Amino acid sequence: MPTDPMVSDAMPRGSLQASSEPGRRWVEFAQIDNVRDLGGLPVRGGGTTRFGVVFRSSTLQQATEADLSRLTGSLGLRTVIDLRLPDEVEREGYGLIAGADVRIANLPIRKSPQSSLAARDLVPDKTRVNLTELYGRLLAGSGAHIVESVRLIIDPARHSVLFHCAAGKDRTGVLAAVLLDAVGVHPEAIAHDYAQTNERMHRVRERLNGLASYQGLPPADTGILAVTPDVMRGFLDNLHAEHGGAAEWLLANGLSGTELDRLRRALIEP
């Protein structure tokens, strides 16, 4: 069943600090930035999302041995969903993750299935970009890969799952928003989760700017590196106005009703 319209059961802005448990959601590593658990987020009608099932992250390629040990040990990582474009993967690789006992699924999120495979074409001008519009185009161009990501996430044998792009903000943010909206997480909680990346953006920017695929990034809080909750609010508004919400969008892009129910069971605490 689709989630309720965003206008119903609205959560007041500014009420999410305690309910989203930010201290518990962040996961710290030596050489991986912007990692947090999708658990602890409030769901319409009561309850919260489940801890320890799905994590969102920036790129994993510089992970240390200790980082890898924590991922595959206490976090129980079994599946990595890599949302980067093929040229990013070819140039930057996976580092130590490539040799770990985890499944890696490269499911690029991009503006259209026929678009260029070059990372630089994702955002031609990194200093000037309408992020809400970009996210809409990424959604429109990535239906098959988002649905395939959901099918990995609903399989208990694949838990825990971590998905990432480069910064862990834009492509990762789109997938996170679809997952959370589809299971009924409050839109304000989704926007708050998205905006938490701002706490790590200076660190993320410094790391990415030293990698071949991402050199020349603007300062943090500028252009493609800006992080504001209004961007995600706009994306969610458009998602509901144009498609009826993420649940309806997933069904229209090939997910079955049974699979949607399994996503809710996977992500929501009973």
The CATH number of the domain holding residue 71 is 3.90.190.10
Q: What is the 3-state secondary structure (H, E, C) of 50-80?
A: CCCCEEEECCCCCCCHHHHHHHHCCCCCCEE
Report field, pTM of the whole predicted structure over 0.85: yes
For residue 169, the model assigns a pLDDT of 95
Quote the tokens at residue 249: 């969008």
Residue 184 backbone zone (phi > 0: left; psi -120 to 50: alpha; other: beta): left
8 inside domain: no
- Pair type for strands 36-37 and 54-57: antiparallel
How is residue 100 written in tokens? 């770990």
What pLDDT is attached to residue 119? 58
Does residue 2 sit within a domain? no
The Cβ of residue 188 has, within 10 Å, a number of other Cβ atoms equal to 23
List, in order, residues 6 or more apart from 44 with CB less than 8 Å away.
3, 4, 8, 9, 184, 185, 186
Q: Does 207 fall in a domain?
A: yes
- In tens digits, what is the pLDDT along the chain, a chain of 270 residues? 333 323 233 444 444 443 445 568 999 999 999 999 999 999 998 899 999 999 999 999 999 999 999 999 999 999 999 999 998 999 999 999 999 999 999 999 998 776 655 555 566 666 678 999 999 999 999 999 999 999 999 999 999 999 999 999 999 999 999 999 999 999 999 999 999 999 999 999 999 988 888 888 888 888 888 899 999 999 999 999 999 999 999 999 999 999 999 999 999 997
Assigned domain for 185 exists? yes
Pull the structure tokens for residue 128: 């000037």
The residues, ordered by sequence, that sit 6+ positions from 1 with a Cβ below 8 Å of its Cβ are 247, 257, 260
Residue with tokens 């609010």: 233
Q: Kindly state whether residue 46 falls inside one of the protein's structural domains.
A: yes
Residue 270 in domain: no
Backbone phi, psi, residue 104, to 5°: -110, 120
Q: Are 3 and 183 in contact (CB under 8 A)?
A: yes
Tokens 């996961």, residue located: 27
Question: How many separate domains does the chain show?
Answer: 1
- Bond preceding residue 160 cis, omega within 30 of 0: yes
Residues whose CB falls within 8 Å of the CB of residue 74, separated by 6 or more in sequence, listed in order: none
Query: Which of 95, 82, 79, 130 is CA-nearest to residue 211?
Result: 95
Angle between helices 171-182 and 257-267 (to 10 degrees): 100
Whole-number pLDDT of residue 15: 42
In a domain, 225, yes or no: yes
Q: If you search the block for the tokens 């208990």, which residue do you land on?
A: 156
Hey, what are 109's tokens? 């999120």
Q: In this structure, is residue 148 part of a structural domain?
A: yes
| The two three-digit tokens of residue 74, written as one number | 């206490």
The boundaries of the domain holding residue 138 are 22-263
Residue that is written with structure tokens 């990692």 in the block: 35
